[in-house]
Amino acid sequence: MRIDIITAVPDLLISPFEHSIIKRSKDKGIVEIYLHDLRDYSKNKYRQIDDYPFGGGAGMVLMIEPIEKCINKLKSERAYDEIIFMSPDAPVLTQSLANQLSLFENIIILTGHYKGVDQRVRDHMITREISIGDYVLSGGELAAAVLVDSVVRLLPGVLNDETSALSDSFQDGLLSAPIYTRPAKYNDWEVPKVLLSGNFAEIEKWRHEEALKHTKKLRPDLLKDDII
Ligand code: ADE
């Protein structure tokens, strides 16, 4: 998979992709991630990429031209499955959407900064808008890092144990069951006995019940009628 990220602040996105699972995925050639500095596409000698909003109001707005130039350059080099804009006023990222995006070959992610982006970019160049939650960040860069992380870990060959993404929270519509490791007893706190029993049918049953219990308590909104 190839991911091109267009941003006004590329430095914000260096570290998130230089460690752990994403770094290993890049090293293995499973994902390629390219950062594009919007200022490189400014026609202005001051590398200006934003301007005042028409009609007045607080904050600066990212201009169309540098964004269009960058997107058009990328599109002239390869076909893209999706051109995504990160924005708080958009549908919220879910595990199911991350699963869908992980099937794509090439995606562009545009991140907003300052007050936002000229609406004509959203109307004419963007194919999908994604929010990472109902709160406002200073820019879309951290949101893009969250999106990329959620997608890359699903790509085949990224996680060592192929089943581990399948047992994530949300993959079956439930939060995940609690997990434990050694020691079996710490202070007075004991690991549930069933996990030490070696009876895998019982363990699976317990995990499902616990997942259901946790979901009911912490995220009842996730429970649909068809989950029992
Ligand atoms: N940019 C600013 N806030 C955001 C959010 N919650 N999700 C995605 N992009 C954003």
Q: Which fold has domain 2-152?
A: Alpha/beta knot (3.40.1280)
Q: List the structure tokens of 181.
A: 């490791």
87 Cα: distance to centroid of ligand 1 (angstroms): 4
> Residues 178, 22, 37, CA angle at the centre, nearest 5°?
130
pLDDT tens for each residue of 91-105: 999 999 999 999 999
Peptide bond between residue 183 and the one before it cis (omega within 30 degrees of 0)? yes
135 Cα: distance to centroid of ligand 1 (angstroms): 7
CA separation (Å) from 124 to 71, 89, 119, 121, 224?
A: 12, 17, 9, 5, 36
Rounded CA separation 176/168 (Å): 6
Kindly report the pTM of this predicted structure.
Answer: 0.93
Q: Do domains 2-152 and 168-227 have the same CATH topology?
A: no
Does residue 25's CB lie within 6 angstroms of at least one atom of ligand 1?
Answer: no
Nearest CA to ligand 1 atom 9: 87
Nearest ligand 1 atom to the CA of 130 is 8
- Residue 225 carries which DSSP code? T
| CA count, 13 A, side-chain hemisphere, 141 | 19
CATH number (1.10.1270.20, 3.30.70.141, 3.40.50.10860, 3.40.50.300) of 168-227 reads 1.10.1270.20
pLDDT tens for each residue of 110-154: 999 878 999 999 999 999 999 999 999 999 999 999 999 999 999
Does residue 143's CB lie within 6 angstroms of at least one atom of ligand 1?
Answer: yes
Domain boundaries, the chain: 2-152, 168-227
